[in-house]
Structure 1
């Protein structure tokens, strides 16, 4: 155990850190009483919780610099936090550390309609960027399901995507420049507002680094014109294999839809009573295929996609006839996660990526795992780019169910690796998938990751013990994996 995590020793240290931070920030921006820090004990992965020692709420870049300098000097670890909507435990606090929230850095600094860019602070909500750009007929493309609440800083940390990332890309494809502060208190700008930037492409390294390399203080994002028209096909299939193959067939036909999502019957049935999207709840699987562009382009592409879907065995095809109907079709997919609460006390959302051609194989594999672990699973996929979001349904009040859910999830990720995919798509590794990193990457590859970490953060104070597993952790996981151990993270507080 780290001696600083010992409750008997943490109080004097807490006083010292609070005193140092209050010399930098207003009193209301330094939280340390339990009733104030409790809301920061976890992110969207609520199964793992830890009260932070202190929460700091800077309001400008100078305060971020000062906090990092102070924490470095005191050797206090820092966990960056956006809106807390992440699903991998990446923002879970450390008992003897400071949570640095960027929530108060929430200004849209500049909107350039000629360059089609927006300069925003990290606490700006994803959807707020599009709302601000809407009068100029522009919007920000990445649209994670949590876009009403998640912030651009968190999106940068996790390289978030969304239902339209197949055509318009992930965060990394839509960010031009990031201004950030290193653990040494240096302000660094990565990327450029020009078409290219000199030197190594560190922007791509930083995006998706889960807060381990620096604290974001400003982001320049691309804005794109709103399409003149958009329509979506809602296609039903009586077999999940046919539905999975239809996804591959659409892409093989040379069509890149604006969105291509898949939901199995369990997902459709849990969503339909919640949002009344008009889903076929008798179908084994449904696909949502969107086309956008000019009216002529959309009409032509909808026709081509309908032809491919019919040829792939679709039993029913509906095409949205109005913007309201298009949004209604999407509302079910966008609300899949909250709808899970209608049919299960708890759910465990996984996130892996596979080659599209193996969608059917993985779906069948997950069905076998449902029997193996005695748990239901609702499958919701960004099918077009092979990003899976299986929702494992369980009841935390039933002894052993969460343990089985974790093993179920680990098996899904291993199946993703087996078919040539990866253990994560857009949720990040955090603590949730850190053991699965041992499955995908060799010791040499993991050491290369640590090399990048050391280049930015020699003291390992920024979000330590997240995302990259140590050799020791992988050795222990190997033993537990062989024995099918019942505790994925025995050292972490749960529930």
Structure 2
């Protein structure tokens, strides 16, 4: 990349957008070198933080005209490296595009910019008796644009689904510079579902500039409990039995002993740290139905060996339960200074086997693994902890994380439920998809981005990425043996 090309772009940008929206200083650019996946880092050549939709469109078109690669970034809370910058390109940050443009309480929709924080939308529509259902653990910080990129779900996805079920339309700035609307303000827009194609595409098909969100009425009541078990297997079987009884909880979350301990130390919420595992289960809806099902669920917990059940007596206790659960990722720092979080999915019936397998991997590797996850839909979030200051531990943690994904695939599961592929799991894609599948994905991506400059190297495997690990350079085995050299 020639310096003159960057200088020319910066000069062009300064003539059409605010100079305050352009970050050139090296230390400031390095602050954007990674998202929540800290093991992969790259510093962009220029960071652009537009203060309006018009600035964003103008800036991206200038980058396209300059022939430079670019990556979009929201709040940077992603966990798969989907917002990892291109060290030969430009980073476009949407965090300042944070306006709620319209709330229509009658139609139950809101139109927002991509930088609106997830939880802030629910707060804004609360006076109308409405809320936005997707609730990732990072909802106090993550943005709706990022939720669209990753098709985020959250704890209540078992009943309410993922972002794709709650976004009706999007305005998309294509990698060609064209602005298009996909979907609309209703559930069934005419034509092919290109809206659904873009949601979950991890920013590889363009930048979302406006979003039409579907809102839901607040449920009449919510009832929440934490059930404690002497074994993870018993808790997993209780989950399957609840669903088999025809009960659809709003959320079913599981934590193992290590996760319970860490979360309680971090929050003081009142969890029983002597338990081997626990389930956090919530029902919501019409009062009569919820009360009857809640009674049945409590009985099922005891039938499956729950030592005791903590039922939230009021909203304060309910908030404490969720505070503990949503603190899990941060709380893992009390176990070790670093961790790798996985995001595999398995059938509910396979949960006991997979959790036992994860336990064996932890013992064999001598690494502590915290299990905290969406048990209702089998979306695992094992946290493989390690100390980067101890030689070899990070590599060992990466090996364990890869083996966990293999466990999931061997059980007929998936590489990801909501965190995405990014760069973290891109080289595992052939383990799940055939060459024909990947070729079809590539053709679709090429249709949106014919010059292949938008968030390149993410989601779909390439020989470069799968032969070289992005981030810190690791010598190839041929180099180690003296049979080859890097050039």
Task: Report the TM range for the smaller structure's normalisation.
Answer: over 0.9
Range with greater deviation from structure 2 (30-39 or 457-466): 30-39
In structure 2, the residue matched to 1:492 is 471
Write the distance in 2 (CA, Å) between the matches of 1:90 and 1:458: 20
Contact 1:71 1:78 in 2 (8 A): yes
- After superposition, residues 360-439 of structure 1 pair within 5 angstroms as 360-439=352-431
Contact 1:48 1:494 in 2 (8 A): no
Write the distance in 2 (CA, Å) between the matches of 1:105 and 1:68: 14
In structure 1, the residue matched to 2:158 is 166
Partner-residue secondary structure (3-state), 2:452? coil
- After superposition, residues 33-432 of structure 1 pair within 5 angstroms as 33-432=25-424
Shift of 1:185: 1.4
Write the distance in 2 (CA, Å) between the matches of 1:216 and 1:491: 26
Offset from partner CA, 1:237-259 (integer Å, 9 cap, x none): 11111111111111111111011
In structure 2, the residue matched to 1:21 is 13
Write the distance in 1 (CA, Å) between the matches of 2:452 and 2:396: 33
Offset from partner CA, 1:347-405 (integer Å, 9 cap, x none): 11111111111011110000111122221100001000111100011001111111111
Shift of 1:19: 1.7
Shift of 1:306: 1.3
TM-score (norm 1): 0.93
Shift of 1:301: 1.2
Offset from partner CA, 1:163-219 (integer Å, 9 cap, x none): 111111110011111111101111111111123111101111100001100111100
TM-score (norm 2): 0.95
Shift of 1:65: 2.6
Shift of 1:473: 5.1
Write the distance in 2 (CA, Å) between the matches of 1:56 and 1:415: 41
Contact 1:231 1:323 in 2 (8 A): no
Partner-residue secondary structure (3-state), 2:427? coil
Partner-residue secondary structure (3-state), 1:40? coil
Shift of 1:491: 4.1
Whether 1:452 and 2:452 are equivalent positions in the alignment is: no
Offset from partner CA, 1:252-295 (integer Å, 9 cap, x none): 11111011000000100111121122222121110011011233
RMSD: 1.4
In structure 2, the residue matched to 1:465 is 457
Write the distance in 2 (CA, Å) between the matches of 1:35 and 1:28: 16
Range with greater deviation from structure 2 (43-52 or 117-126): 43-52
Shift of 1:91: 0.7
Write the distance in 1 (CA, Å) between the matches of 2:299 and 2:219: 23
Write the distance in 2 (CA, Å) between the matches of 1:347 and 1:107: 34
Give unmatched runs, 5+ long, in structure 2: 475-487
Shift of 1:438: 2.1
Write the distance in 2 (CA, Å) between the matches of 1:180 and 1:102: 13
Contact 2:30 2:43 in 1 (8 A): yes
Offset from partner CA, 1:412-443 (integer Å, 9 cap, x none): 11111110110001011111111111211111
Write the distance in 2 (CA, Å) between the matches of 1:202 and 1:465: 22
Partner-residue secondary structure (3-state), 1:219? strand
Contact 1:18 1:32 in 2 (8 A): no
